[in-house]
Amino acid sequence: MFKSENYLSEIRASIDTFYVDFEEEALNEKSFKYAQTINEHKTLFISLFECLTPDDAKEKMQEFVYFCVTHDIPYMFVYGELLTISRNLMGIFAMVGDLENLKHLNHYLDTLEEQITIAYFYKFLRRLATKNHLRLSHLSNLIEKNLMIHYQRHIEWMIQLIDYLQYRDENRPFPELDHNLCEFGQWLHNTAIPYITSTSHFKGVGELHHSLHDLASEVVDQSKNGLKNPKHLIHLIQRIDYTSLEIGNEIAILNDMIMIEEYSKDPLTGLLSRRLFDKVVMTQIEIAKATESPCSLIMCDLDHFKIINDTHGHLAGDAVIKDFSNLLQILLRKSDFIFRYGGEEFIILLPATPEEDTRQIAQKICTATASRAISFNGLVLNYTVSIGIVPIITDTTTCVLKDTLKNYVAQVDAKLYLAKQNGRNRVE
């Protein structure tokens, strides 16, 4: 064990220097709880270098690690302080020629880093298990699962993998590592739905799934030999989780394509009818929560549509509605849900689309509409559209209720009204 009593002033000065920025941040934020946590963490960290016996050092290590994990101290913060202090102390020991203490300090800090990393590894697994159980609950809430039932089976496999890594108990179910033999893999290699198997999304799912199982095999092999490199294991498991979400997003797109193909349509436009709106959107929000992907709503209303009807007749109005519907189908993806919501009003649900991308899509629709020219009974009809957009919050654990939908529709309707108030032919 290294002897620190002759270097306590240097140790304290080095630690104080590291913490000064965080203490200032706590003062600026006027957060008593944050300041208290930083001070407690600092006190415990200093105590690591004041131990007189190996048993005392072991106890202080355990106390410090427990505090870090239970108070959500970021791993990179803890790693950074260890690295900074060890460099400073090693520099001091090297300068005075205290090579024996240098060797003991290096061993002490390596042991501390290993304990911290292992503790954070298990914390990471617990959180990942919670996330996947939450994803599973969202999938279980789906009234119509369609292809998402297969992603549900995949999430169950993910939970089995995490469970094995947490406990490494031979009596627990072992995750199937062959990508052809797990339930999801069996469906993937035996499905015969030509509408989806010919798509790039389906091929992408196969490649992602194969890659995920290769990573899982590597993780299981490494874990069988003990946690010799938990940092590398965390990196591999993060890649597995990211790949799993990518698979979910691709399956969701394929699922959307099937739903759109099968659902009943508005007779004039061939778009989805309003009566399907609640059912579809509630399902899509649950899927977005399960796959941790953003989605957004667009509401469109044709400008001065009543004037077109009154001036040129309802057939002319129908021609404009059909033309706009065709334009939407040209500009949007096959996995986007387009509803004829009212006479000249449309709502679009964009899965896996963040707010900024939604704004760009809405502006593209607005610009393209303004350049349309329809020939009708020897006349050329031009028209424009006003558009409102609103992002749907998917990073919550709350259940999706009909009131949730009403609130989103009210929000996007208010944005549409603002576009009308601000001069029409625009996006808000």
The pLDDT, as a whole number, for residue 93 is: 79
- Terminal alpha carbon distance of the chain: 66
The pLDDT, as a whole number, for residue 2 is: 63
- Look at the block and give the residue holding tokens 């009566």: 275
The pLDDT, as a whole number, for residue 22 is: 63
Q: Looking at the predicted structure, is the pLDDT value of residue 349 above 60?
A: yes
Fold classified for 265-421: Alpha-Beta Plaits (3.30.70)
The pLDDT, as a whole number, for residue 223 is: 86
Mean pLDDT of 17-32: 62
Q: Looking at the predicted structure, is the pLDDT value of residue 212 above 70?
A: yes
The pLDDT, as a whole number, for residue 73 is: 84
At 106 the three-state DSSP class reads helix
Two tokens at 285? Answer: 């929000």
Top pLDDT among 206 and 104 is at 206
Q: Looking at the predicted structure, is the pLDDT value of residue 35 above 80?
A: no
The pLDDT, as a whole number, for residue 317 is: 95
Two tokens at 169? Answer: 């108990």
Same fold, 142-258 and 265-421: no
Q: Looking at the predicted structure, is the pLDDT value of residue 38 above 60?
A: yes
Q: Residues 162-181: pLDDT tens digits?
A: 999 998 777 777 899 999 99
The pLDDT, as a whole number, for residue 21 is: 62
Distance in angstroms (rounded) separating the CA atoms of residues 143 and 152:
13
The pLDDT, as a whole number, for residue 1 is: 63
Enumerate the domain spans of the chain.
5-122, 142-258, 265-421
Give the CA dihedral 273, 274, 275, 277, nearest 10 degrees.
110
Mean pLDDT of 193-209: 91
Superfamily of domain 142-258 in CATH is Aspartate receptor, ligand-binding domain (1.20.120.30)
Q: Looking at the predicted structure, is the pLDDT value of residue 249 above 90?
A: yes
The pLDDT, as a whole number, for residue 268 is: 95
Do the bridges between strand 337-340 and strand 272-273 make them parallel or antiparallel, or are there none, so unpaired?
A: parallel
Distance in angstroms (rounded) separating the CA atoms of residues 163 and 184:
18
Distance in angstroms (rounded) separating the CA atoms of residues 75 and 113:
10
* Least confident window among 275-279, 296-300, 382-386: 275-279
Q: Looking at the predicted structure, is the pLDDT value of residue 396 above 70?
A: no
Mean pLDDT of the chain: 89
Distance in angstroms (rounded) separating the CA atoms of residues 161 and 219:
10
When pLDDT is cut at 50, 70 and 90, the band that residue 314 belongs to is very high
The pLDDT, as a whole number, for residue 267 is: 92
Do the bridges between strand 379-381 and strand 385-392 make them parallel or antiparallel, or are there none, so unpaired?
A: unpaired
Q: Looking at the predicted structure, is the pLDDT value of residue 313 above 90?
A: yes
Q: Looking at the predicted structure, is the pLDDT value of residue 27 above 60?
A: no
The pLDDT, as a whole number, for residue 172 is: 73
CA 264 from chain centre, in angstroms, equals 32
Sign of CA dihedral 130, 131, 133, 138: positive
Two tokens at 130? Answer: 């919670």
With beta carbons less than 8 A apart as the criterion, state whether 153 and 187 touch: yes
Task: Provide the angle, in degrees to the nearest 10, between the axes of the packed helices 99-140 and 277-291.
Answer: 160
Share above pLDDT 90 across residues of the chain, in percent, rounded to a whole number:
57
